């Protein structure tokens, strides 16, 4: 938002850091342009809260998806083991 900061980071992280800064700048501009929040500090805090909320919501969604995948894998493993067990019984 028309303010530059000098930040030290490893060279391999520079592109990612620039992308993050651009994303933050867009979020802050959107909040400023809404006219509901006044003051750079408040705009920065609101942007941080919004970004953190989005991050945690996505993390929770990913955790739920991961648990669903794990449950399905366990179910399939159980079916495979049951089928193999039946196959062994038939050979006897």
Confidence of residue 25 (pLDDT cuts 50, 70, 90): very high
**What is the spatial distance between Cα 7 and Cα 24, in angstroms, rounded to a whole number?**
15
Does residue 92 have a pLDDT over 70? no
Q: Where are the alpha helices (DSSP H) in 1-92?
A: 14-34, 40-91
Q: Exposure pattern of 67-81 as b/e (b: 16+ CB <10 Å)?
A: eeeeeeeeeeeeeee
Average pLDDT over residues 44-70: 91
Taking the model in full, what pTM does it have?
Answer: 0.64
**What is the spatial distance between Cα 18 and Cα 25, in angstroms, rounded to a whole number?**
10
- Residue 23 backbone zone (phi > 0: left; psi -120 to 50: alpha; other: beta): alpha
């Amino acid at each position: 938002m028309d303010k530059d900061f000098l930040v030290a980071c490893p060279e391999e992280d520079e592109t990612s850091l620039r992308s993050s800064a651009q994303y933050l700048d867009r979020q802050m501009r959107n909040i400023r342009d809404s006219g509901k929040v006044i003051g750079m500090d408040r705009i920065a805090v609101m942007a941080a809260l919004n970004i953190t909320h989005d991050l945690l919501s996505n993390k929770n969604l990913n955790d739920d998806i991961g648990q669903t995948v794990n449950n399905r894998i366990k179910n399939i493993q159980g079916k495979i083991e049951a089928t193999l067990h039946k196959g062994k019984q038939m050979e006897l």
